[in-house]
Structure 1
Amino acid sequence: MSQTPTPLTEQDIELLRKEFDARSVNRLFQNAVTGNSITEVALDRSVMTGIDRSMSHRLDKWPVTNQQKSGRCWMFAGLNLLRAGVMDKLGVKDFELSQNYPLFWDKLERCNYFLQSIVELSDRPADDRTLSFVLEDVMGDGGQWNMFAALVTKHGVVPKSVMPETESSSNTAAMNKNLRSLLRQAARDIRAADGESAVEEIRSQVMSSAYRMLAIHLGTPPTEFEWQWTDDEGEFHRDGTLTPAEFRDRYLTIDVNDYVCLVDDPRATSPRGRTFTVDHLGSIVGGAPVRYLNVPSSTLKTLAAQAIKSGEPVWFGCDVGQMMERETGVWDAELYDFEGIYDARFELDKAARLEFHETLMTHAMLLTGVDLDGDTPRKWRVENSWGDEKADKGFYTMNDSWFGEYVFEIAARRDSLPAELQAALDADPIVLPAWDPMGSLA
């Protein structure tokens, strides 16, 4: 479409000023918003006060965790799902799996995955869109369920006491920046290398440097450790020397490989009942690829509610920054009346928000409760990983309207799916480009 350029003229600006001044309510909102945050002014009190925290089904009886200044929400949510069964097995009410341990392996594996991607894209021009995306997106903290499952499968898990947090695990920015510089330099060298042996030498040197950097920042991950504990009845237990894989196999009550990823992508270009993957999305070379099945939001809700009713929390990913009041911990699709304040329409639906870059998955958490009226969910209880100072000691309340608009992904047991969806999981996936919003990392 070609159109004559339309500059903004002085006459245009004068008209805009007169239109604003013509309505006295604009000055009232101006006075309110210039002295307060827009969310304080736009908050619909009737919506917020109409949501209570009670649930017909609630699982959590443990304290929340805290990811601090890191983007490890997907990892925290996955470990929080696993720890519920571990606590029951250990006979304790408070226990955490190490979040630093999988962080170390995730970073190291990502370094290798990035180098592999650069090798595969080495014949592309420097301004190739996929190559540009891979270079821009390198070494963030975010992830998806399949990436978490691959880490647990390959590297196991350990108690937090075995590999506790460090300053850098709780504040990853400086570490990530230096790793990013190392990898982008490696990308330059690989693209200029002559032959496979030269590329392998670069990879070997870079991986050695990356391991050293990670060990300096995060500590050295254990290969084995002594495991003993005292349960809440005061009984002492000793289990001897375990590897991370042995601890996983002995104490986890959940097999992460029993779970599949389901998403709600309502775009017309994304057919329901089909599997998808995203180009160059992953973290472990040779590991299971990121793969998901596209289903309606109603299916996500049904499966999540069934899991909670059966006694199991649910890992999920969402666009967390939308329609949330952080202090009280309330999410509702109508929480803020921005249209009323601005006298402007905001009418993109979920599909259009994805298409026009207005939304994507930004955070992962755990559903630990649901309020059902018959089989219809009214609201959901959410275990976040932002500490216990906000909301209900760190547990948030999500209206079901918010679920429909802003939840994109859940992990569900494969055998909980209807037969037709289980069959659909075996179909070859549609490959989306690397920059597709459904490849975003929580």
Structure 2
Amino acid sequence: MDQPIEPKNIERYANNLNDYDDSNVVRRAVTHNGILKTAADFEANPKMDPVFSIDVSDQRVSDQKRSGRCWLFAALNTMRTKVENDFNVPKDFELSQAYIFFWDKFEKSNYFLNNVINTAEQPLDSRKVSFLMATPQQDGGQWDMLCALIEKYGIVPKSAMPETANSENSSELNAALNTQLRHDAVILRKMINDGQKAEIINAKRDDMINEIYRMLVYSLGKPVEKFNFEYRDQEKEYHIDENITPKAFFQKYINLDLEDYVSLINSPTEDKPYNKTYTVEMLGNVVGGRPIKHFNLPIEELKKLTIKQLEAGETVWFGSDVVKDTDRKQGIMDTRLYHVDELMHTDMSLTKAQRLDYGESVMDHAMVITGVDIVNGKPTKWKVENSWGDKVGTKGYFVMSDDWFNEFVYQVVINKKFLSEKEKEEQQQAPKILAPWDPMGTLA
């Protein structure tokens, strides 16, 4: 039953302000300083000093600038640590984010057009078609999507394909691509519903992908096929590897079996029992490539496995909700940072499951865990390599409290050798298919 707000209600609400002796003080402080600055608890900061008992990496932090490529930066940052350790490359060495970005945009466009064809007989106002058309492609992605790209296209150093204006600020490129893809969707849906033959439709789709390739070359440059890898190591010794391909570079300098790395999530919602696997419908980039697969485990298990990988000297890619309880300037992620509920004299408490179910929290950023501080056998805080440049945090590194890990970390990527035998077996299960809009797909 609808219930309007009556004048008498407003009068009562206004009178209820007198129930709080500090209401005038709070109003003056909040209107002048803003909510978070007024609610900040600066006593939390000293507890988050950037010193860790296990500290795997201090490489120079990269900068994704005005783009949503955090997942690419985080993944490439885990890999460049290995190159630095194995080949003693300079601390400022980076792998090319623009190279992977190009192929991701290219493959996502084809993935979208295939989904358009597969849903062409559904009405435009169906939820799946509406979801597709809302964002034909964008910058985000998942670890498995990165693996699919590397397996197909390899990887190159940043010197072989540097950043461009459109990789550093992707808004104009995204707008142009999405307009083109929606235009193409109109044509493909009409062809299918008019009964055109499959070979004619596929030929048209191929013409569309040809146009996307041209747009990407104009915006990001043409991806290199062979290049010279030239550098001086940290002892100033000169090295050159001539005429190497992106796949050969990956095999020689990174040399990881990507099949060894699996996505573990923590989603304590009723629809996702622990020790089961999940995938997300219509989420991916490379058609026929590595599919998205998440293995859901309790948060304490994610932390235990993360520590095992750090102890072995390897960093950890992870997905989280970075906007929650984060001081970007100080580089602190801590649930004790702000007390908005106390400030507003209200109860804002939600469990992690409730935040996911009710849209309060989703994965929105990927970073790299590079260290942990263990006191009396338990983690107290974690060292995080971000991709927002070196002007925030401690030269770009953030400190994450253990409680923040509990509440806002949703995914880690772990070498399956650290899993128990039971977990390895469970991870092999066929995944349950989640809806395209499920929270475990939002990072992409």
TM norm structure 2: 0.97
Cα RMSD, aligned residues only: 1.2
In the alignment, residue 17 of structure 2 is paired with which amino acid? F
Secondary structure at the counterpart of residue 226 of structure 1: strand
Question: 1:118 offset after TM fit, Å?
Answer: 0.7
Aligned to 1:389: 391
Deviates more, 1:141-150 or 1:47-56: 47-56
Match of 1:355 among 357, 360, 363: 357
1:50 match: secondary structure = helix
Match of 1:433?
435
The answer to whether residue 14 in structure 2 is matched with residue 17 in structure 1 is yes
- Give the corresponding residue for 1:158: 156
Task: For structure 2, list consecutive stretches of 5 or more residues without a partner in the other structure.
Answer: none
Question: Which of residues 71, 87, 91 in structure 1 aligns to 2:88?
Answer: 91
The residue type equivalent to 1:386 in the other structure is W
Deviations 1:89-137 (A, max 9, x none): 3312321000000000000000000001111111111111111111113
In the other structure, the counterpart of 1:46 is 43
Residue equivalent to 1:247 = 249
**Counterpart of 2:25?**
28
Comparing 175-184 and 27-36, the one that deviates more? 27-36
Bigger mean CA offset, 88-97 vs 245-254: 88-97
1:118: which partner in 2?
A: 116
Correspondences of 1:141-156 after superposition (within 5 Å): 141-156=139-154
What SS does the corresponding residue of 2:140 show, helix, strand or coil? coil
Matched, 1:268 2:270: yes
**Aligned partner letter, 1:430:** K
* Structure 1 gap ranges (5+): none
Amino acid at match of 2:5: L
CA distance in 1, matches of 2:440, 2:395: 31
Q: Work out whether residues 319 and 443 of structure 2, in 8 Å CA contact, stay in contact via their aligned partners in 1.
A: no
Paired residue for 1:324?
326
1:281 equivalent in structure 2: 283
Q: How many residues align?
A: 439
Cα distance in structure 1, aligned partners of 2:309 and 2:323? 26
Q: What's the CA shift string for 1:5-47, capped at 9, x where partnerless? A: 1011122122212222553412211111111121111111222
- Residues in 1 aligned to 2:5 and 2:131: alpha-carbon distance in whole angstroms: 34
SS in 1 for 2:48: coil
Percent of residue pairs bearing the same amino acid type:
38
Distance 1:301 1:359 in 2: 20
Alignment counterpart, residue 81 of structure 1, candidates 56, 78, 83: 78
2-structure distance, mates of 1:22, 1:106: 56
SS at match of 1:238: strand
1:102, 1:151 within 8 Å by CA — same for their partners in 2?
yes
User: Cα distance, 1:387 vs. partner?
Assistant: 0.2
**Partner of 1:170 in structure 2?**
168
Question: Which consecutive aligned stretches of 4+ in structure 1 deviate over 4 angstroms post-superposition?
Answer: none
Please state how far the C-alpha of 1:88 moved relative to its aligned partner. Answer: 2.2
Helix, strand or coil: the match of 1:381? Answer: strand
Give the drift of 1:208. Answer: 1.1
Q: Identify which of 133, 136, 150 aligns with 2:134.
A: 136
CA distance in 2 between partners of 1:328 and 1:99 (Å)? 26
Give the structure 1 partner of residue 299 of structure 2: 297
Measured in 2, the distance between the counterparts of 1:301 and 1:137 equals 33
Which AA in structure 2 matches 1:308? L
Is the Cα contact below 8 Å between 1:224 and 1:244 reproduced in 2?
yes
How high is the TM-score relative to the length of structure 1? 0.97
1:258 to 257, 260, 265: 260
Deviates more, 1:109-118 or 1:90-99: 90-99
